[in-house]
Amino acid sequence: MESAIKTLVSVYLKSAKGKDSLGEKDFQNLVKNKLSNIMTDTDSKDAIKEMRQGLDSDADGKVGFQEYLTLVGYLASNLSDQRTTTKETPAAEGEQEEAS
Ligand SMILES: [Ca+2]
């Protein structure tokens, strides 16, 4: 759990490259490189752009940390929905957390 939170923060910071928020390209790379197993359409620039606009609650064209957390929350909630509806199926690859 703690390492997951640290990962969330470090992925954001690395993607933002020292800036306050993720620009269009930064966000695109983050989705493509870090979320391709959990999301669909990560190869589609249009889909990612749409997603970015949906997250951009202050409409500055960039994804700030809070907006990034909105995406994380959305994905987590999606995952927990899937878990309840597909209880019968075996766990997907990479789903188990590493013991630490
Ligand atoms: Ca924004």
In three-state secondary structure terms, 91 is: coil
CATH number at residue 41: 1.10.238.10
- 76 assigned to some structural domain: yes
Helices vs. strands in the chain: H and E counts, helices first: 4, 0
Q: Note down the domain range covering 49.
A: 2-83
Note the pLDDT tens digit of each residue in 7-28: 999 999 999 999 999 999 999 9
CA gap 60, 34 in Å, rounded: 23
- 97 assigned to some structural domain: no
97's tokens: 């957390």
- Ligand 1 mean position to 20 CA, how many Å? 10
CA gap 68, 78 in Å, rounded: 15
Number of domains observed in the structure of the chain = 1
- 66 assigned to some structural domain: yes
- 99 assigned to some structural domain: no
Note the pLDDT tens digit of each residue in 57-81: 999 999 999 999 999 999 999 999 9
Q: Which amino acid is at 39?
A: M
- Ligand 1 mean position to 37 CA, how many Å? 25
